[in-house]
């Protein structure tokens, strides 16, 4: 694409500069910003539709309010690019060399205009109530504004926030950015309620927000900057809770994204250059295997329900799959607590609930995993996707699911290392009636070449892959291949014929096998693709605490890394076969 000429944006390095523009210059400014966002996101990948939808509204916000004195909290911050452009960070959008300078989320370390590091949804209202309460105690007078999408509004924290914001008794302005979409289609009574409001220009018989006690305003066109300025000015400095319901178009200004919103929520680099390409045949993946399995079972008449909380794309549960599943598919909206409890209820009633969830979002539903599910031993199946160490943003790390799930009693958490095991585990889990089961689905597919005939109802039985001596490698799930590499290098460098174990069970220790290792091993190493603290390896180490066995645990440290390159992490955590072999050499 050619370099984008900005003329009006040239004059804007801060919200103060913005306020000096005439109202007539604002839409042309929006057009410039939109072009920048399209080009930048198509180069780096990132959130596309949500940002395009918020260009005009963000201009109006900064035109009326006085950030950073006035505090604007963006929910999930999928829509913060226009805000970044207007608050001193336009370089990250105008200069391709700086495209990676700023995170894709709000980040207080970048500027005072960002209040919180945010990447999980449904938090903005609650966080804003805190800012408002702090302000009131300290005698401040600023406006506190929470932006939240209609999708995010269905999350429990957001609803708890609404309940509290309504009685704050002072200034708080909640802006519901209603684009009639979550990542996929919206779900639930709240969605229908918003639709009714939109269809009736904000005038309905039973107004949900008014029922809660909010002063309610409706903005029919969230791209009409002048109208928004008028409404925002009206509520600025309010002394009571106000809710503005604003209709915007997700993907605004880029036709394909306006028409087909879901695939443009977040895009990969260069997506826009290949819109007319023939779709490529997808190679086999854990996603495709899962879909095939679920559809097969449904066709066989099984009472399967595939459940997820508004992120079907993570599992490849695309429109075609959803349509085929029909009533066997449930999207709870952004509501992981509901998803887990519902799965438990379905299992209790004899249905076969299979819940897909991304590792980073498991932590949104700990109490439900523990109380609604595990305490009741209801046989639902949780498929945890994307678990593992990565170069992800600090808000989307997927390293914490093992410490979380594996320390809850009763849950059987399984770690397949290949397609054959995954199929067997999934089928076992769906058909058994004894346990709540979670399966940590690896990211990249792998094959053992041998059908797995394991009976997983015999819990905590590890697989002895190769019996050796001196050193035993316990390599969990997606790190099993790393275990094989370590074994090979130990042979090559130290002449050690190491034992290789595939534990398969994250949630239990195979005491018999570990005990047997004592006779001809002096070192055990554990490899896990996640946080060490509270994880799998520590339990092995505890088992050997009363013996002379030395144990080294490999995994990630307890820390929020932030887009840290994998090479750096592998070096820091000693996750390469070379570094591990070196460590073993040092203690043997």
Nearer to its own copies, 42 or 553 (CB): 553
Is residue 174 within the footprint of its own copies (CB under 8 A)?
no
Distance CA 562, CA 131 (A): 25
**Span of 79-87, 250-258, 357-365, 429-437 interacting with its own copies by CB under 8 A:** 357-365
Residue whose pair of structure tokens reads 């058909």 in the numeric block: 431
Which of 265, 322, 364, 435 binds its own copies (CB under 8 A)? It is: 364
User: Kind and range of the H or E element at 407?
Assistant: none
> Which residues are bridge partners to 47 per DSSP?
266
Which of 63, 65, 214, 422 binds its own copies (CB under 8 A)? It is: 214
With contact defined as beta carbons under 8 Å apart, do 36 and 94 qualify?
yes
Which of 88, 188, 202, 263 binds its own copies (CB under 8 A)? It is: 188
Nearer to its own copies, 511 or 558 (CB): 558
Q: List the x/- string, 534-563, binding to its own copies by CB under 8 A.
A: xx-xxx-xx--xxxx-xxxx----xxx---
Nearer to its own copies, 210 or 563 (CB): 210
With contact defined as beta carbons under 8 Å apart, do 447 and 463 qualify?
no
With contact defined as beta carbons under 8 Å apart, do 411 and 371 qualify?
no
**In degrees, to the nearest 5, what angle opens at C-alpha 173 toward C-alphas 172 and 176?**
140
Which of 28, 45, 88, 140 binds its own copies (CB under 8 A)? It is: 140
With contact defined as beta carbons under 8 Å apart, do 505 and 462 qualify?
yes
Minimum Å gap between C-beta 466 and its own copies is 23
Task: Find, among 505, 467, 504, the residue nearest to 487 by Cα.
Answer: 467
Which of 371, 432, 516, 564 binds its own copies (CB under 8 A)? It is: 371
Report how far apart, in Å, the C-alpha atoms of 126 and of each of 158, 369, 487 are. 7, 23, 50
Positions 189 through 208 that interact with its own copies (CB under 8 A): 189-193, 204-208
Is residue 395 within the footprint of its own copies (CB under 8 A)?
yes
Positions 455 through 514 that interact with its own copies (CB under 8 A): none
**Span of 252-260, 281-289, 397-405, 467-475 interacting with its own copies by CB under 8 A:** 397-405
Positions 317 through 336 that interact with its own copies (CB under 8 A): 327-328, 330, 332-333, 335
Which of 3, 5, 20, 137 binds its own copies (CB under 8 A)? It is: 137
Q: How many residues bind its own copies (CB under 8 A)?
A: 120
Tokens found for residue 137: 């105690």
Which of 21, 289, 295, 375 binds its own copies (CB under 8 A)? It is: 375
> Which residues are bridge partners to 466 per DSSP?
500
Nearer to its own copies, 26 or 355 (CB): 355
Distance CA 56, CA 34 (A): 9
Positions 27 through 66 that interact with its own copies (CB under 8 A): none
Tokens found for residue 553: 């645990």
Which of 41, 489, 532, 580 binds its own copies (CB under 8 A)? It is: 532
Nearer to its own copies, 108 or 565 (CB): 108
With contact defined as beta carbons under 8 Å apart, do 50 and 178 qualify?
no
Nearer to its own copies, 45 or 345 (CB): 345
Nearer to its own copies, 1 or 69 (CB): 69
Tokens found for residue 39: 């080009």
Nearer to its own copies, 17 or 185 (CB): 185
Nearer to its own copies, 166 or 228 (CB): 166
Q: β-pairing, 352-358 with 46-47?
A: unpaired
Positions 228 through 287 that interact with its own copies (CB under 8 A): none
Nearer to its own copies, 253 or 356 (CB): 356
Nearer to its own copies, 55 or 392 (CB): 392
Nearer to its own copies, 17 or 562 (CB): 562
Is residue 119 within the footprint of its own copies (CB under 8 A)?
yes
Nearer to its own copies, 137 or 458 (CB): 137
**Which DSSP state fits 246?**
E
Distance CA 487, CA 494 (A): 10
Nearer to its own copies, 112 or 260 (CB): 112
With contact defined as beta carbons under 8 Å apart, do 480 and 421 qualify?
no
Q: List the x/- string, 299-318, binding to its own copies by CB under 8 A.
A: ----x-x-------------
Distance CA 238, CA 77 (A): 25
User: Kind and range of the H or E element at 539?
Assistant: helix 536-543
Alpha-helical runs (H) found in 14-143: 15-19, 26-44, 49-53, 55-64, 81-86, 91-94, 124-138
Minimum Å gap between C-beta 458 and its own copies is 19
Positions 401 through 460 that interact with its own copies (CB under 8 A): 403-404, 406-410
> Which residues are bridge partners to 470 per DSSP?
521
Distance CA 161, CA 105 (A): 21
Backbone CA torsion sign across 290, 293, 296, 301: negative
Tokens found for residue 335: 């509501």
Preceding peptide of 68 cis, ω within 30°: yes
Nearer to its own copies, 383 or 408 (CB): 408
Minimum Å gap between C-beta 68 and its own copies is 12
Minimum Å gap between C-beta 378 and its own copies is 8
Positions 98 through 117 that interact with its own copies (CB under 8 A): 108, 115-117
Minimum Å gap between C-beta 400 and its own copies is 7
Q: Directed axis angle between helix 286-299 and helix 419-431, to 10°?
A: 40
Tokens found for residue 467: 């019996």
- Separate counts of helices (H) and strands (E) for the chain: 24, 18
SS3 226: helix
Which of 19, 100, 210, 511 binds its own copies (CB under 8 A)? It is: 210
Which of 131, 184, 392, 430 binds its own copies (CB under 8 A)? It is: 131
**Span of 19-27, 394-402, 417-425, 426-434 interacting with its own copies by CB under 8 A:** 394-402
Task: Find, among 300, 371, 372, the residue nearest to 343 by Cα.
Answer: 372
Positions 77 through 96 that interact with its own copies (CB under 8 A): none
Which of 171, 370, 436, 502 binds its own copies (CB under 8 A)? It is: 370
């Amino acid at each position: 694409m050619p370099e984008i000429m900005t003329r009006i944006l040239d004059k804007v390095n801060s919200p103060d500069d913005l306020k000096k523009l005439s109202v007539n210059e604002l839409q042309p400014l929006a057009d410039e910003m939109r072009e920048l966002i399209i080009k930048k996101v198509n180069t780096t990948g990132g959130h596309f539709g949500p940002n395009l939808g918020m260009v005009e509204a963000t201009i109006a916000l900064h035109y009326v309010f006085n950030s950073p004195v006035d505090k604007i909290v963006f929910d999930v911050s999928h829509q913060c690019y226009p805000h970044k452009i207007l608050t001193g960070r336009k370089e990250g959008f105008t200069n391709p060399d700086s495209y990676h300078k700023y995170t894709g989320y709000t980040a207080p370390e970048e500027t005072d205009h960002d209040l919180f590091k945010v990447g999980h949804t449904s938090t903005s209202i609650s966080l804003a109530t805190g800012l408002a309460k702090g302000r009131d105690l300290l005698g401040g007078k600023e406006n506190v504004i929470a932006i939240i999408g209609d999708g995010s509004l269905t999350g429990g924290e957001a609803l708890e926030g609404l309940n509290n914001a309504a009685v704050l008794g002072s200034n708080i302005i909640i802006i519901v950015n209603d684009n009639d979409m979550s990542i996929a289609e919206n779900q639930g009574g709240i969605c229908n309620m918003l639709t009714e409001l939109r269809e009736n220009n904000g005038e309905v018989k039973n107004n949900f927000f008014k029922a809660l006690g909010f002063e309610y305003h409706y903005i029919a066109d969230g791209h009409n900057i002048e109208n928004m300025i008028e409404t925002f000015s009206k509520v600025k400095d309010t002394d009571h809770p106000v809710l503005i319901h604003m209709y915007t178009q997700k993907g605004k200004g880029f036709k394909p994204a306006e028409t087909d919103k879901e695939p443009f929520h977040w895009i990969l680099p260069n997506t826009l250059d290949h819109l007319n390409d023939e779709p490529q045949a997808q190679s086999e993946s854990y996603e495709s295997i899962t879909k095939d399995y679920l559809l097969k079972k449904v066709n066989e008449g099984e009472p399967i329900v595939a459940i997820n909380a508004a992120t079907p794309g993570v599992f490849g549960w695309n429109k075609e799959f959803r349509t085929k599943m029909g009533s066997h598919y449930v999207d709870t909206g952004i509501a992981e607590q509901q998803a887990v409890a519902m799965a438990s209820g379905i299992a209790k009633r004899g249905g076969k609930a299979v819940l897909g969830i991304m590792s980073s979002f498991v932590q949104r539903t700990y109490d439900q995993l523990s109380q609604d599910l595990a305490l009741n031993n209801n046989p639902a199946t949780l498929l945890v996707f994307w678990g593992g160490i990565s170069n992800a943003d600090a808000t989307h790390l997927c390293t914490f699911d093992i410490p979380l799930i594996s320390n809850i009693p009763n849950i059987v958490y399984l770690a397949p290392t290949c397609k054959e095991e995954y199929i067997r585990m999934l089928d076992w889990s769906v058909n058994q009636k004894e346990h709540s089961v979670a399966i940590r689905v690896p990211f990249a597919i792998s094959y053992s070449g041998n059908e797995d005939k394991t009976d997983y109802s015999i819990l905590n039985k590890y697989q002895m892959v190769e019996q050796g001596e001196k050193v035993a490698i316990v390599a969990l799930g997606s790190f099993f291949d790393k275990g094989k590499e370590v074994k090979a290098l130990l042979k090559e460098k130290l002449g050690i014929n190491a034992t290789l174990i595939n534990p398969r069970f994250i949630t239990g220790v195979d005491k018999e096998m570990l005990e047997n290792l004592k006779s001809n091993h002096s070192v055990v190493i554990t490899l896990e693709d996640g946080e060490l603290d509270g994880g799998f390896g520590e339990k092995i180490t505890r088992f050997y605490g009363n013996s002379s066995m030395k144990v080294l645990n490999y995994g990630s440290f307890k820390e929020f890394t932030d887009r840290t390159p994998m090479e750096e992490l592998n070096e820091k955590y000693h996750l390469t076969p070379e570094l591990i072999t070196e460590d073993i050499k040092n203690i043997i």
